[in-house]
Amino acid sequence: MLGQDVVSTAQAAGHESTALSRAELDVTDFAAVKRAVSAATPDVVINCAAWTDVDGAESSSEAADAVNGPGAGNVARAATAAGAWTIHVSSDYVFDGFRREPYVESDEPRPLSAYGRSKLAGELEVALEAPASHTIVRSSWLFGAGGRCFPATILRLAAERDELTVVDDQVGCPTFTGHLARALTALATQPSLGLVHVAGAGWCSWFDFAREVVSSAGLECEIKPGRTADLERPAARPLYSVLGTERPSEAPKLPDWREGLAEYLAAGVSAV
């Protein structure tokens, strides 16, 4: 989802790019990663590869760790060996969500889930393998036209049902991958920043997000508020994971998440 938008954005900006899918390159295989990066002779490597199944990571933690932890390190290590620097995408789920003000870069991560722990491990791997040549971008609640995402699911369910219950006690920053891709492409032309938070402006609950999706799509479906505890999901989620930044002059500023939703819907995406 994010990778496709990064490719199209980079090409539109006039950059020469090499894009490899999961089928073409397994990031857990360092030898393969090193060969691929060396052959591409890049100036910068943007790593969009990730295990993103939050609940699945609880039962398949070794697989999630391999991709999100050492896999991220492999990409950074190969980039460093090729004389390139690394942009790595991380997650708001590295935080526990126990506070009620935006998390900034210096706040201590305390992940609640196997997925969150694997993403934090990836940050540490990237910093270790590319100590002077990396930018780690924490973002949150990604949605876009290139894959399964929350708005697509809501569109499908709202077309099938008269009412939906969506949790209103998880709060975060929905981020349109088209907007994040532009920020990542811009960061590729700047000096490495270390760690920076980049997410859609504004914040909402999943309940708020679902209501905006249904309203914007002109669907007749009542959205009712629910509680996370009632879902009994395998992985714990941070109840508050709004991302802020203490680097306002350096961090790219994304449009409001509602603008991202409008662009997403304007693209004529299909519900999944």
Residues with a catalytic annotation lie at 115
Domain at 110, CATH number: 3.40.50.720
Higher pLDDT, 270 or 24: 24
The predicted pLDDT at position 126 comes to 97
In a domain, 198, yes or no: yes
Instruction: Tell me if 189 is assigned to some domain.
Output: yes
pLDDT of residue 251: 92
Answer yes or no: is pLDDT of 271 > 60. Answer: no
Residue 36 maps to a domain: yes
Q: Is the pTM of this model over 0.85?
A: yes
List residues bridging with 195 in a β-sheet: 136
Position 84 pLDDT exceeds 90? yes
CA angle 187, 248, 145 (to 5 degrees): 50
Which pLDDT value is given to residue 269?
Answer: 63
User: Cβ(159)–Cβ(219) under 8 Å?
Assistant: yes
CA distance 179 to 233: 29
| Residue 270 pLDDT grade (very low, low, confident, very high; cuts 50, 70, 90) | low
pLDDT (tens digit per residue) in 35-68: 999 999 999 999 999 999 999 999 999 999 999 9
Q: Is residue 20 part of a domain?
A: yes
Domain that holds residue 90: 2-266
C-alpha separations of 186 from 16, 136, 257 in Å: 14, 14, 19
Q: Is residue 97 part of a domain?
A: yes
State yes or no: pLDDT of 70 exceeds 70: yes
Question: In angstroms, how far apart are the furthest CA atoms of the chain?
Answer: 56
Mean pLDDT, all residues of the chain: 95
Task: Note whether residue 99 is domain-resident.
Answer: yes
Total structural domains in the chain? 1
pLDDT at 108: 97
Please check whether residue 120 is in contact with residue 72, taking contact to mean a CB–CB distance below 8 angstroms: no
